[in-house]
Structure 1
Amino acid sequence: MMIIWSFCLIFCISNSVLVIAKDLCLPDQRDALLEFKNEFYVPSPNSGFMIIKGKTEKWRNNTDCCSWDGVSCDPKTGVVVELNLEYSNLNGPLRSNSSLFRLQHLQRLDLANNYLSGILPDSIGNLKYLRSLSFRRCYLFGKIPSSLGSLSYLTFLSLSENDFTSDSMGNLNRLTDFQLMLLNLSSLTGINLGYNQFRGMLPSNMSSLSKLRYFEISGNSFSGTIPSSLFMIPSLTYLDMGTNDFSGPFEIGNISSLSNLQQLYIGENNFNGPIPGSISKLVGLSALSLSFWNVGGGIVDFSIFLHLKSLRSLNLAYLNTRSMVDLSIFSNLMLLDELDLSGINLKISPTLHLPPPIKTLILSSCNISEFPKFLQNQTSLYYLDISANQIEGQVPAWLWRLPELRKVNISQNFFSGELTMLPNSFYSFICSDNQFSGEIPKTICELEILVLSNNNFSGSLPRCFENKFSRSILHLGNNSLSGVIPEEILSGNLMSLDVGHNQLSGELPKSLMNCTYLQFLNVEDNRINDTFPFWLRSLPYLQILVLRSNEFHGPISSPGDSLSFPELRIFDISENSFSGGLPSDYFVGWSAMSSVVAIDYRLIFAASAGLRESYHKSVVLTNKGSKMELVGSGFTIYKTIDVSGNRLEGDIPESVGILKELIVLNMSHNAFTGHIPPSLSNLSNLQSLDLSQNRLSGSIPPELGKLTFLEWMNFSYNRLEGPIPQATQIQSQNSSSFAENPGLCGAPLQKKCGGEEATKQEQDEEKEEEDQVFSWIAAAIGYVPGLFCGLAIAHILTSYKRDWLVRIFSAFLLC
């Protein structure tokens, strides 16, 4: 018996080993996955573009595909049922015949945070067993394919942060394909379509989505009213419809049973009039945002919020009310830990006590004139924003001693004195637009976000010897700082650096090469003496480069070496001493200015974790002949090149014509020669063009008249010649735009063109010739009768034998 049991045991073990050794993955599934991988370009680790290693990097043909990163298979059948390739650096369009659609048994597909730029193919409807689908932040565009409506098993759909569009409802009685698709997906429990370009109205019968728990469509252009049927869905717990164009009456409707809604975000829409008291019915709410509700300057009944005893987060920012609100009214909300009352006039009692759990308090633009003393007892406070008020004097020392405080924004006040007690525990400190003075404390080295712009700080920048490589934002512009920019102050995670408008000198620190996340670099109006930083092209995400008004010198091109800035949107090196010429292909690698390129929201300037960060970021640019300050969202849409005020020479590169997204081009005050390249006519978005103060010759290309957005242009002080083109966009310019070009002629200049003078002379000559011909004709007309008359008289006088008086009288009558 022991021998028999031993054989059985050996047989079972060996059989198990054979089963384990056998690949679970089916060959056709493996082939489809490998083909899908090869459909995309995946940057190599050495390219400088890859921050996170893609999941497909370790996929190998001789291994079990069910063990690959991001792949899960059905243990019984071996078919792939889950594919999660989020953050896998996939670059390229998703093709309609992609091998992905051969994975017919997929139940979960997550391709979020890749670069699939293109349309979502209709073939996605072939994956009929899908239960969860995410294309979040994939830079897709166009319409959502109607085939999505056939995915009857789908329970979760996320298409947020793309560029999808939908047609608005032209007829209120007819639903669009997008709306029909939405209603067809009756099994959905979660929908995320946030931050696209959807517009139109939502269907009124949203209650047909009876299983819906999560619904987010924020950041679009939906309009009309919010369907009250949404609040009839008993399973709904999360509803975010903020930042749209919803308007009209807001109605919750008759709720027969207690609502399960826990989070409601409808702020930043177009709601007008009183806030409905029916909101108090939603007693289960833990988060509520009604920001930017226009109550028309009327009185708000804040007592309606006191019924919401479960509230933890309340955002009532910028309600446009004339109410003076006593902050103590919110002291009854015992669970409240996040409160935003920005833009509301507040009354703050010296004896005020808010509930201890307050962690986030935003009181920006609340007409506060004294530092709120009740904050001294807020031992749980993590984030404080009292910016844009009228608070004077020094920051109270007890603020720095609050044990949990990590983020502070006190910008746009009248604070003064020195910063000497900034704690090491701070994560973010924003104090721009105040009157602080003295030196910057060394404790800034520990901060991830530091904004001290527009103050009176002096001295040198501290050297951070204990660099933790965590800093993401450093803005010190518009102060009186001197010395060099120390290498030690720059960290590997730096995203935004602004030290403009100071008195800094020395060279640009080459440690910036290590800041692979850097997007924004502004050193304008200093005394930096250096050559052009060609090494910045190794920064894959650099979008803003401003070197204006310094002492940079030397060439800005390298022979045989292209200068590629694929993400660059603003390039301003004006008012320096750069010299040399530019090759014709100089702008070939500037992709973001050549076409519409999606913005990587992971690296957009704010590094806030879900909380609105407000910090001073600006550059001074020249547009249409005047200096302007660019702030806010303009950084993402404004595309400009300014190389003016240097010593650049040679031809203007013909490749400038590929920068079709360019809005401003300023190449004035240089030594450019040759002709104006006709390729400029390809810049269909150009609004401002300045080529003045150069040595350009030849004529102004007539093709520039096709640029319908071109509002301002300047060709003055060159060597241009010939007639000014008679296009409307060109003729509308002031004559000063063409001044000091001796060879130019025609309107709007007073000088007539040579062709016009020649024409007038020819007309005068023709008139003179016509007068001469007329004189000869008149003479001929007079000569013939005269001759006839003379001959007749002679005949009469010689032929008739009459009295001579009679003969003379006869001749007179005849003539």
Structure 2
Amino acid sequence: MRYSPIFFYQHFLCFLLLSLSFQATLSATHLCSHDQSAALIQFKTHFSINKTVSKGCEYEYEYGKKSYPKTNTWKKGIDCCLWDGVSCDNITGQVISLDLSCSWLSGEFPSNDTIFLLSHLQSLDLSFNDFKKSTISSHFGRFPSLTHLDLSSSSFSGKVPYEISYLSKLVSLDLSVGNSEIVLTLEKSTLDGTVGNLTEVREIYLDGVNMSSVGPNSFMNISYSLTNLRLTLCDLHGNFPDNVFNLPNIEYLNLNNNPSLSCQLPKLNWTSPLVVLSASETPFYGGLPESIGNLKSLQELGFVNSNFSGPIPTSLGNLSQLGFLFLPDNNFSGSIPSSLTNLTQLRLLVLNSNRLEGPIPDKPNAFPNLGYLDLSYNFLSGSTPSWLYTHPSLSFLSLENNKFNGNIKEFQSTLLNYISFKNNSFQGTIPSSISELVNLTNLDLSSNRLNGTVNMEIFSKLQQLTSLELSANNLSLISPNSSVNFVLPNLEYVFLSSCNLSVFPNFVMGSKVLKQLDLSNNRIYGQIPKFPWKNIQLLDLHSNSFQGDLPTLPRSINFFSVSNNNLTGEISCVCNMKFVGILDLSHNNFSGIIPQCVGNFSQSPWVLNLKMNKFHGIIPSIFAKGCGLRNLNLNSNQLEGPLTPSISNCKDLEVLDLGNNMINDTFPHWIEALPELRVLVLHSNHFQGSVVSSKNPQSLSKLQIVDLSNNNFSGPLPTSYMKNLRAMMNLDKGKAAAYINDGYDFFYCSSCERIGG
């Protein structure tokens, strides 16, 4: 049989390809040299494996890195090019990439480790490990081919070595610090060398690196190749060079949290390709220039508390790609530009805490993709536009603390999960469509002029609700069908003060996660129900018509007020409280003795108000050292016996009101040990004897109000004592009849400017 030349040619090609493939397979499986393998094994021995040190990698959506112990695959007898995290050159067999990010490595990093023998490395990533505050070795500068170096969030500390600047081929450098307890410092000479030598660098991330000794002008000559620069929390000082904002390739620039840095945005010819610009908590001088509208690629703009003033530029409406606009906590004034409604890609608009005035722009199809709108804490006014209630994608809406008026319209979108119209002048009734907002987690309509009767069943479908606030309106909340009960299992915060309630709302009883409940200033009568909440912290029931005994109080509670009710019985149940911030049982008919436990409560500051009850016996005899009491008001009871000097253990005590009792004692000279005392009331008791002279000229220096009237004191008032009362000389006469302690406890004294005998 004869074969054509083509037949032989085809078979020759097949043989050649099979031969080359076999050789490539052999070389691919036997690339790693013994020296490289040994160097990596030696490196591995320095560290233990601890999963918790790489917990930052749990935020995979942000970092995109899988967390697992890669060095567990590093074993002798296996080609190191097959180990996790190791990549080799297919031809030379040299290790060119080492990715040990999120590898759970824990231990000190040797300054002269064998890893530095891998001289052909092009990429080295050691991020998200814990190297126990090791210094960055100068030997990191020994990788002449390195293009990517990432040492971020791995607990390196000390000074960044100058040798980092030798890595002239670097394209990406990340030295970011992920732990506030770690101090990594970059000095001026090192930064200058890095900026001067890294001519090809495109990405520099130095978040959290202390650069307080560096002048921002060091960045003036940074590479024109730069696309990403991140300098968050670097403690930079001085004026930041504005040419960085104009770099021809810059896309991501972050200067957040540098309060001692001073910046100014370019006013003319600003056409950089910026995609993200963020400088929150970093001060700028001047306004936000109209040139910002030239950044056609901008998708995210963030200036939170950046000291901007003046109007919001109308040119922002030209940024057709803008998706996120954060400008809160500045001093922007004027109106919200109507041009912003042209931003068809805008998903988040945050302008809260400025000085903006006028109405919300009202245009058909405004902000078609908006999902989050926060205009709170401004001076905006007028009625609210219809698009707020019909917007198909809006989920977060906050207009609180403005001057809006008119009616709240019916909501047509069920996507809303957060509504806050608090502290405005809205009128009319609560819209019935609230009942259909099944995704709602927060509803706050408090402090408006809303009126009408509200059937509490309107909330029965809102099973996701965590916060409900309707206080300070002219509403009347009713439950016409008492046999119908519903549960809102996720409620954490309920504020229904001044809502004309006559019964305790059953729906709050079904929540196991309730933390704060305010039902004050209502008409609720009957006994206080047993509390089913294990984690409640604030419970305010003052100014109702509750009767009977106090139920057992949850241990978690730290604010409890039932003042101005008709409660009776003893109060031993308060001893169950683990921590007390404010305990106000005043203006009731409680009786019995004051339990000793009140002298042993937490050392944290707290207020005890038992005024206007029927307590008898002596004041608890022991107040523990470190007692945190700031206000002790036992006025108008039937207390007897001598005072206990251990009250002087309460060094932060500001108000001591024991008036209108039957206390029989001499003047309590130990009050000189109370450096913060501002108010002392002993009137209408059975104190006798002379007022003891002050031995310490610095004592009672803050005392402003003293009432010793209607007692049996005798003798003259000591001159030395009177001279100590310097703070009384500064007492505002207009405030003499009222003393407000920490904005909570109101104290009234009929003889605030005299010391009676």
- RMSD over aligned CA atoms reads 5.4
Is 2:232 the counterpart of 1:241?
yes
User: Per-residue CA shift, 1:487-526, capped at 9, x if unaligned?
Assistant: 968633333222223322222647446242x433333322
Is 2:461 the counterpart of 1:503?
no
In structure 2, the CA distance between the partners of 1:660 and 1:333, relative to structure 1 (3 Å rule), is farther
Corresponding position of 1:522: 518
User: CA–CA distance in 2 between the matches of 1:106 and 1:127?
Assistant: 15
CA drift of 1:432 comes to 1.5
Is 2:323 the counterpart of 1:345?
no
Corresponding position of 1:359: 347
In structure 2, the CA distance between the partners of 1:147 and 1:257, relative to structure 1 (3 Å rule), is same
User: Per-residue CA shift, 1:171-207, capped at 9, x if unaligned?
Assistant: xxxxxxx97267799896542346x8x9999754674
Corresponding position of 2:370: 381
User: CA–CA distance in 1 between the matches of 2:565 and 2:255?
Assistant: 49
User: CA–CA distance in 2 between the matches of 1:501 and 1:199?
Assistant: 52
User: Per-residue CA shift, 1:720-741, capped at 9, x if unaligned?
Assistant: 4555563655475356433334
CA contact (8 A) 2:128 2:153 kept: yes
Corresponding position of 1:641: 607
Identity among equivalent pairs (%): 19
Corresponding position of 2:410: 420
User: CA–CA distance in 2 between the matches of 1:460 and 1:501?
Assistant: 13
Corresponding position of 1:169: none
Amino acid at match of 2:133: L
User: CA–CA distance in 2 between the matches of 1:279 and 1:571?
Assistant: 61
User: CA–CA distance in 2 between the matches of 1:693 and 1:667?
Assistant: 9
In structure 2, the CA distance between the partners of 1:585 and 1:346, relative to structure 1 (3 Å rule), is closer
Amino acid at match of 1:409: S
In structure 2, the CA distance between the partners of 1:252 and 1:481, relative to structure 1 (3 Å rule), is same
CA contact (8 A) 1:225 1:246 kept: yes
CA drift of 1:478 comes to 0.8
Corresponding position of 1:13: none
User: CA–CA distance in 1 between the matches of 2:687 and 2:212?
Assistant: 53
Corresponding position of 1:456: 449
Corresponding position of 2:134: 149
Corresponding position of 1:786: none
User: Helix, strand or coil: the match of 2:133?
Assistant: helix
User: Per-residue CA shift, 1:517-537, capped at 9, x if unaligned?
Assistant: x43333332223354566366
CA drift of 1:477 comes to 1.4
Is 2:697 the counterpart of 1:706?
no
CA drift of 1:449 comes to 1.3
User: CA–CA distance in 2 between the matches of 1:147 and 1:190?
Assistant: 15
Corresponding position of 1:50: none
Amino acid at match of 2:517: L
Larger radius of gyration: 1
Corresponding position of 2:707: 737
Corresponding position of 1:332: 318
The structure with the greater share of residues assigned to helix is 1
Corresponding position of 1:790: none
CA contact (8 A) 2:632 2:656 kept: yes
CA contact (8 A) 1:216 1:241 kept: yes
CA contact (8 A) 1:663 1:687 kept: yes
CA drift of 1:301 comes to 3.0
Higher deviation after alignment, 718-727 or 406-415: 718-727
User: CA–CA distance in 2 between the matches of 1:404 and 1:522?
Assistant: 33
In structure 2, the CA distance between the partners of 1:704 and 1:224, relative to structure 1 (3 Å rule), is farther
- For 1:706-785, what aligned pairs fall within 5 Å after superposition? 706-721=673-688, 726=694, 728-730=698-700, 733-734=703-704, 736-743=706-713, 747=717
Amino acid at match of 1:330: L
CA drift of 1:356 comes to 0.7
CA contact (8 A) 2:320 2:343 kept: yes
In structure 2, the CA distance between the partners of 1:656 and 1:272, relative to structure 1 (3 Å rule), is farther
CA drift of 1:227 comes to 4.6
User: Per-residue CA shift, 1:71-119, capped at 9, x if unaligned?
Assistant: 96965589xxxxxxxxxxxxxxxxxxxxxxxxxx997559xxxxxxxxx
In structure 2, the CA distance between the partners of 1:182 and 1:286, relative to structure 1 (3 Å rule), is same
Corresponding position of 2:82: none
TM-score for both structures, normalised by structure 1 = 0.56
User: CA–CA distance in 1 between the matches of 2:163 and 2:636?
Assistant: 61
Amino acid at match of 1:373: D
Amino acid at match of 1:362: V
CA contact (8 A) 1:731 1:747 kept: no
User: Helix, strand or coil: the match of 1:400?
Assistant: helix
User: CA–CA distance in 1 between the matches of 2:429 and 2:461?
Assistant: 20
CA drift of 1:247 comes to 5.4
Amino acid at match of 1:529: Y
TM-score for both structures, normalised by structure 2 = 0.60
CA contact (8 A) 1:584 1:652 kept: no
User: CA–CA distance in 2 between the matches of 1:389 and 1:665?
Assistant: 39
Structure 1: give runs of 5+ residues left out of the alignment. Answer: 1-31, 38-54, 56-69, 79-104, 111-123, 136-145, 160-177, 595-618, 623-636, 753-815
CA contact (8 A) 2:454 2:476 kept: yes
In structure 2, the CA distance between the partners of 1:381 and 1:257, relative to structure 1 (3 Å rule), is closer
In structure 2, the CA distance between the partners of 1:344 and 1:694, relative to structure 1 (3 Å rule), is same
CA contact (8 A) 1:716 1:739 kept: yes
Corresponding position of 1:482: 476
- For 1:244-283, what aligned pairs fall within 5 Å after superposition? 248-251=238-241, 262-266=252-256, 269=259, 274-275=264-265, 283=273
User: CA–CA distance in 1 between the matches of 2:529 and 2:548?
Assistant: 10
Corresponding position of 1:770: none
Amino acid at match of 1:180: G
In structure 2, the CA distance between the partners of 1:158 and 1:375, relative to structure 1 (3 Å rule), is farther
In structure 2, the CA distance between the partners of 1:285 and 1:502, relative to structure 1 (3 Å rule), is same
User: CA–CA distance in 1 between the matches of 2:304 and 2:539?
Assistant: 34
Amino acid at match of 2:177: I
In structure 2, the CA distance between the partners of 1:155 and 1:274, relative to structure 1 (3 Å rule), is closer
In structure 2, the CA distance between the partners of 1:376 and 1:675, relative to structure 1 (3 Å rule), is farther
User: CA–CA distance in 1 between the matches of 2:621 and 2:127?
Assistant: 49
Corresponding position of 1:492: 489
CA contact (8 A) 1:699 1:721 kept: yes
Corresponding position of 1:431: 421
In structure 2, the CA distance between the partners of 1:413 and 1:372, relative to structure 1 (3 Å rule), is same
